[in-house]
Amino acid sequence: MTRLNGWRPGRDATRRIPTLLGPPRPPAAAPFRPRRVAMLSVHTSPLHQPGTGDAGGMNVYIVELAKRLAAIDIEVEIFTRATSAALPPSVELAPGVLVRHVAAGPYEGLAKENLPAQLCAFTHGVMRTWADHRPDHYDLIHSHYWLSGHVGRLAAHRWGVPLVHTMHTMAKVKNASLAEGDTPEPASRVSGETQVVESAHRLIANTGKEAAELLHHYDADPRRVAVVHPGVNLDRFRPEVATAESGVEAGRMAARARLGLPRDALIPLFVGRIQPLKAPDLLLRAVARLLQERPGLRERIVVPVVGGPSGSGLTEPEGLQKLAACLGISDVVLFHPPVAQDHLTDWYRAASVLVMPSYSESFGLVAVEAQACGTPVIAAEVGGLPVAVRDGVSGVLVPGHQPADYARALSDFADTPMRAARMAEAAVVHARSFGWPSAAAATADVYRAALHDRRPPPCAACPRDVVTSGEGPCLPRLLPSERPVGHSSLDRLLGGA
């Protein structure tokens, strides 16, 4: 876990708080290690294929984090919305990790923008599951994305447990850097995120910059903010090396042979959801400009685009193909649907460089996955990408979103193969610092800190197990039926749960 103590925000961050303070680490012998965590992912299931619909880096994050938490004896139950009547009520994702499908709204055809209307039904489903267990079945709630945060803050209030929340993306940040023609996030989301930030006992940010954005845009309490870099599955994402002497390049040639790609081609790869936020169109415009300036490259360039339409990209699902035709580069662009993680490694290994020109990224797991496979990255200098990519070492960061700048970076890769090879080797080394075991251990530290603050040791003067509010006398640990509900909106939402 990266501490915020002593780290000073840049000029864009709030001046009212000179330093960011992470949560206090509990003593080594603190008895508040969680046994079981309720993890909430309302709008996208960890079982869905990343790169399709709303499934992306957050899905990978939840799956990998849950598995690694289970490996250190913290059981995880992931609640997600059921998207098919054929789904079983629960599925074991891995030992110690259970996915629970909650019926909330129509199974299919429900856009993410319409999900707020289903939060009441989803919350009710979560409460029904809780009612089937002992009141202390879950020690803590970890919600992902603002929709889950709303369910989490109500459940945490009812269960008397801490809420840890990860934003993943923020409306105010996205709206500040919209792609041309993209749809702004609504005011209702901004308001909802503000409520979640106010309610959460701990907020996990992917980077120091995201932590500063939480303070600046949402007035978050710095004592409740912790920075934990996401990880990468280094067992899966790694170079394919035939011998110790052959290096990354041998694996690149083998992957190209399996995928049927030219051995000596310049291959700039895009992986992700096809939507304006991710800016795959910028890569195509950059390639068109590059070929206009250097027509001789056309014979040795292939541009794979691996992913499916998502978000506002669904309004014109074939828009990228039409753009390629309009730019006159359809002959060099290879569109491929999303692939499973095990097959994605071949695309990373085969590429000369991954291009990630996003307008906003809270971290950029795709960039780290590619580097772990030995592929350098050209990325926009936004969000968490300056952490995910070491500029000039494991890749190149591009300020702004001008096609000419990306064309120039691609041209440099074509002209300096030795530099590209050095970056490929450095990329592997850089990615090794982002392992999931350390990310899970740091997240468990955040859990312990939240539990330490929320549930101090029993009061020796009291006759039974108690909790304290930290602001007054001891309060008895009440059964669910005994706990007071603070306001009528909760009564209406949770009634009958």
The order of strands in the sheet holding 97-102 is 90-94, 97-102, 75-81, 36-41, 140-144, 163-166, 202-205, 225-227
What whole-number distance in Å separates Cα of residue 306 and Cα of residue 308? 7
Is 113 annotated as ligand-binding? no
CA 437, chain centre distance (Å): 16
Is 43 annotated as ligand-binding? yes
Whole-number pLDDT of residue 24:
44
Is 369 annotated as ligand-binding? yes
Listed residue (363, 417, 426, 362) closest to 392, CA to CA: 426
β-partners of residue 41 are 80
Question: Does 114 score more than 70 pLDDT?
Answer: yes
How many angstroms separate the Cα of 225 from the Cα of each of 30, 141, 204, 228, 253? 20, 16, 6, 10, 44
Is 240 annotated as ligand-binding? no
Is 300 annotated as ligand-binding? no
Whole-number pLDDT of residue 21:
39
Is 169 annotated as ligand-binding? yes
Task: Decide: helix, strand or coil at residue 366.
Answer: helix
Pick the more confident residue, 33 or 167: 167
- The 10s digit of each residue's pLDDT in 73-108 is 999 999 999 988 888 999 999 999 999 999 988 877
Whole-number pLDDT of residue 412:
94
- Beta carbons within 10 angstroms of residue 85's beta carbon: 8
Whole-number pLDDT of residue 488:
38
Whole-number pLDDT of residue 6:
39
- Residue partners of 23: CB distance under 8 A and separation at least 6: 202, 223, 224, 225, 226, 446, 449, 450, 453
Is 49 annotated as ligand-binding? yes
Whole-number pLDDT of residue 110:
72
- The 10s digit of each residue's pLDDT in 428-479 is 999 999 999 999 999 999 999 999 887 544 444 444 444 333 333 333 333 3
- The 10s digit of each residue's pLDDT in 228-287 is 999 999 999 999 865 344 578 888 999 999 999 999 999 999 999 898 989 999 999 999
CA end-to-end distance (rounded Å), the chain: 36
What whole-number distance in Å separates Cα of residue 455 and Cα of residue 443? 18
Residue type, 5: N
35-55: b or e for each residue (b if 16 or more CB lie within 10 Å)?
ebbbbbbbbbbbbbebbbbbb
The rounded mean pLDDT for the chain is 83
For the chain, what is the radius of gyration of the CA atoms? 24
How many angstroms separate the Cα of 127 from the Cα of each of 269, 327, 374, 468? 44, 53, 45, 24
Is 197 annotated as ligand-binding? no
Is 56 annotated as ligand-binding? yes
How many angstroms separate the Cα of 182 from the Cα of each of 4, 167, 210, 399? 33, 21, 22, 20
Pair 305, 320: CB distance under 8 Å: yes
Is 58 annotated as ligand-binding? yes
pLDDT category of residue 50 using cuts at 50, 70 and 90: low
Is 114 annotated as ligand-binding? no
- Beta carbons within 10 angstroms of residue 206's beta carbon: 27
Question: Does 34 score more than 80 pLDDT?
Answer: yes
- The 10s digit of each residue's pLDDT in 446-457 is 999 999 887 544
Pair 394, 430: CB distance under 8 Å: yes
Whole-number pLDDT of residue 244:
42
Is 351 annotated as ligand-binding? yes
Whole-number pLDDT of residue 49:
59
Give me 321's structure tokens.
């193909």
283-310: b or e for each residue (b if 16 or more CB lie within 10 Å)?
bbbbbbbbbeeeeebeeebbbbbbbbbb
Pair 116, 147: CB distance under 8 Å: yes
Pair 173, 135: CB distance under 8 Å: no
Is 233 annotated as ligand-binding? no
Phi first, then psi: give them for residue 486, nearest 5 degrees.
Answer: -65, -35
Whole-number pLDDT of residue 239:
92
In eight-state DSSP terms, residue 252 is: H
Pair 310, 430: CB distance under 8 Å: no
Question: Does 31 score more than 80 pLDDT?
Answer: no
Give me 340's structure tokens.
């499973």
Is 275 annotated as ligand-binding? no
Q: Which domains does the chain have, with CATH numbers?
A: 36-231+436-494 (3.40.50.2000), 247-431 (3.40.50.2000)
Whole-number pLDDT of residue 105:
81
Listed residue (363, 349, 106) closest to 227, CA to CA: 363
What whole-number distance in Å separates Cα of residue 39 and Cα of residue 57? 16
Q: Which helix (H) or strand (E) is 444 found in, with range? A: helix 436-454
Is 67 annotated as ligand-binding? no
Is 57 annotated as ligand-binding? yes
- The 10s digit of each residue's pLDDT in 301-340 is 999 999 988 665 556 668 899 999 999 999 999 999 989 8
